[in-house]
A = this chain, B = another copy of it.
Amino acid sequence: MRKTTDRDTAGGTGGPARERLLVIGGDAAGMSAASQARRRRGAGELEILVVERGHHVSYSACGIPYYVGGVVDELDKLIARTPAEFRERDIDVMMRTEAVEIDLDRGRVRVRDLDGGGERWEPYDHLMIATGAVPTRPRLPGADAKGVHGVQILDDGVAIRRAVVDDGARRAVVVGGGYIGLEMAEAMVMRGLEVSLVDLADQPMQTLDPDMGALVADAIRDVGVQLHLGEPVEGFDTSPDGRVTAVRTGSRTLPADIVVLGLGVKPASGLARDAGIEVGPTGGIVTDRRMRTRTERVWAAGDCVESRHLVSGGPVAIPLGTHANKQGRVAGINLGGGYATFPGVAGTAVSKICRVEVARTGLSEREAAAAGFETLSAVVKSTTRAGYHPGATEMRTKLIVERRTGRLLGAQIVGEENAAKRVDGLAIALWNGMTVEEMTGLDLGYAPPFAPTWDPVLIAARKAAEAVERDMRERPGE
């Protein structure tokens, strides 16, 4: 810790008083922070208390669709560590305990026992906010009815699996065609349900450009999901006992035993905002590179914060377990007296819908335009392996580049086996500000089982470089 506060005595000259780190939220960010802080500061020096409102800590929310679909059979497999395991490492965890108010002046948090019902104040010397995100719910009648599920915490996964497997739901409607919506749609198809997916947009996967999103739409239709695109949801019908029975769109009524919301999530920053901790334009808590908020002694990490996008330079809130883990680790190292930074995000994401692999990084064309870039793009169709090698499948790679400079701004991949993870190389290329011309020379792994002589990434770079050159010839740059 920096030695700028009176209360932070860890760096003082006398024997340090035992400090207390209070962590709100026990998933990836919170527990990573707690673990890293503990590695650096023993229990005699730093007390660590985690409050978690759910039934689980340290789990993989990203695994929920696989648990619902039966790809993963036991809930325990999604849980990296139990509260008991953390307690063995001198990290105290209070389950079913919700933080309801932060009192910055007195350095304490009011918590509520969700099962017992009581409330009390817990003091802190250092506060770590890792409250995650909340699923976006449409402001429509019936949106809070029984049977309408968000997908955020492990308890959501348990509830959906119970509805789908044990309670015999037959018809499901997914509202929203992002990653989670598509993965949940596929999971429920695997369970034998009739699944419809409704999205206001003309394509699923809005994080892709429309041409690439259309490929994903084809794939999800092939799985057997009924797609209703360009249709706003107007309401939810409910039974007298308050259960959802149908989803009404502008064009139709879709009977539903279960509704899954895939409308994205919002940073759960209300608690911080109410306390006066700065929240940014994305709704995420503002932190510096070390994951410190603008408020003394308060740190934040995970889905509740906003990050800097390394290509646009602007703030973004991207809820993703891998960021939460990294940010939590960074916060924990700094809380433990070390130095670490979280540089920002590149917007990388991958997903698998049945056989189809989808990946993206950087900015889409729309995002690039919003950030003020003029762009060019190249889309190439090629194979994942040498064309003659068994198992070679077709993949589409799209690169989005800045005019004139030829700098790589974004990339998207839609393909099958062995396609999507190529996005890592593209993410590292744009992280380093490479131009597509430079990328044509990259030394990527080549052997027939892994790539054609020209890897799809290289072919795409060549085509994009040609587009930049053509644009220079044909259109004035200055």
Q: What are the residues of chain B within 8 A of A169 when measuring CB–CB?
A: none
A441 at the interface (CB under 8 A from B): yes
For chain A, the bracket of interface size reads 35 or more
Task: Across the interface, name the chain B residue whose C-beta is closest to A444.
Answer: B424
Q: What are the residues of chain B within 8 A of A421 when measuring CB–CB?
A: 418, 421-422, 445, 450-451
CB distance from A29 to the nearest CB of B (A): 11
A359–B326 touching, CB < 8 Å: no
A381 at the interface (CB under 8 A from B): no
Contact segment of A151-159, A252-260, A372-380, A385-393: A385-393
Q: What are the residues of chain B within 8 A of A446 when measuring CB–CB?
A: 62, 320-322, 348-350
A427–B453 touching, CB < 8 Å: no
Contacts of A416-454 to chain B: CB distance below 8 A = 418, 420-425, 427-429, 431-432, 434, 438, 440-451, 453-454
Contact segment of A191-199, A264-272, A277-285, A339-347: A339-347
Pick from B343, B420, B427, B447: contact of A351, CB below 8 A.
B447
Pick from B63, B346, B445: contact of A443, CB below 8 A.
B346
A388–B441 touching, CB < 8 Å: no
A100 at the interface (CB under 8 A from B): no
Complex CA–CA separation, A424 to B184 (angstroms): 31
Pick from B326, B388, B447: contact of A78, CB below 8 A.
B388
Complex CA–CA separation, A227 to B440 (angstroms): 39
A447–B350 touching, CB < 8 Å: yes
CB distance from A236 to the nearest CB of B (A): 29
Contacts of A9-50 to chain B: CB distance below 8 A = 28
CB distance from A416 to the nearest CB of B (A): 12
CB distance from A75 to the nearest CB of B (A): 10
Task: Across the interface, name the chain B residue whose C-beta is closest to A325.
Answer: B453
A86 at the interface (CB under 8 A from B): no
Pick from B63, B447, B458: contact of A62, CB below 8 A.
B447
A427–B443 touching, CB < 8 Å: yes
Contacts of A440-477 to chain B: CB distance below 8 A = 440-451, 453-455, 457-458
Q: What are the residues of chain B within 8 A of A310 when measuring CB–CB?
A: 443
* A325-B454, A432-B432 known; A66+B389 contact, CB < 8 A: yes
A71 at the interface (CB under 8 A from B): yes
- Contact code string A60-80 (vs B, CB < 8 Å = 1, else 0): 101100100001100001100
Q: What are the residues of chain B within 8 A of A450 when measuring CB–CB?
A: 350, 352, 357, 420-421
Q: What are the residues of chain B within 8 A of A334 when measuring CB–CB?
A: none
A207 at the interface (CB under 8 A from B): no
CB distance from A211 to the nearest CB of B (A): 20
Which of A179, A387, A441, A443 has the most B CB atoms < 10 Å from its CB?
Answer: A443
Q: What are the residues of chain B within 8 A of A62 when measuring CB–CB?
A: 386, 446-448, 453
A361 at the interface (CB under 8 A from B): yes
Q: What are the residues of chain B within 8 A of A350 when measuring CB–CB?
A: 445-447, 450-451
* A60-B386, A386-B60, A434-B432 known; A442+B454 contact, CB < 8 A: no
Q: What are the residues of chain B within 8 A of A448 when measuring CB–CB?
A: 60, 62-63, 66
Complex CA–CA separation, A28 to B386 (angstroms): 14
Pick from B321, B348, B423: contact of A453, CB below 8 A.
B321
B388–A443 touching, CB < 8 Å: no
Q: What are the residues of chain B within 8 A of A361 when measuring CB–CB?
A: 443, 445
Pick from B66, B341, B390, B445: contact of A424, CB below 8 A.
B445
Q: What are the residues of chain B within 8 A of A78 when measuring CB–CB?
A: 388
* A325-B453, A388-B63, A432-B432 known; A445+B427 contact, CB < 8 A: yes
CB distance from A411 to the nearest CB of B (A): 11
- Contact code string A288-325 (vs B, CB < 8 Å = 1, else 0): 00000000000000000000001000000000111101
B63–A386 touching, CB < 8 Å: yes
Complex CA–CA separation, A33 to B424 (angstroms): 30
Can you give 18 A-B contacts (C-beta < 8 A)?
A71-B389, A321-B446, A321-B453, A322-B444, A322-B453, A343-B438, A344-B441, A345-B443, A348-B444, A349-B446, A350-B446, A352-B447, A418-B421, A423-B445, A424-B455, A424-B457, A425-B427, A427-B445
Cβ-closest 8 pairs across A and B: A350-B445, A77-B388, A346-B443, A322-B446, A432-B432, A424-B425, A428-B428, A352-B449
Beyond the given pairs A322-B444, A326-B458, 14 more chain A to chain B contacts, judged by CB atoms under 8 angstroms and listed by A's residue number, are: A60-B448, A63-B388, A66-B389, A321-B446, A322-B453, A326-B441, A342-B441, A350-B451, A351-B447, A359-B445, A421-B451, A427-B443, A431-B442, A432-B432
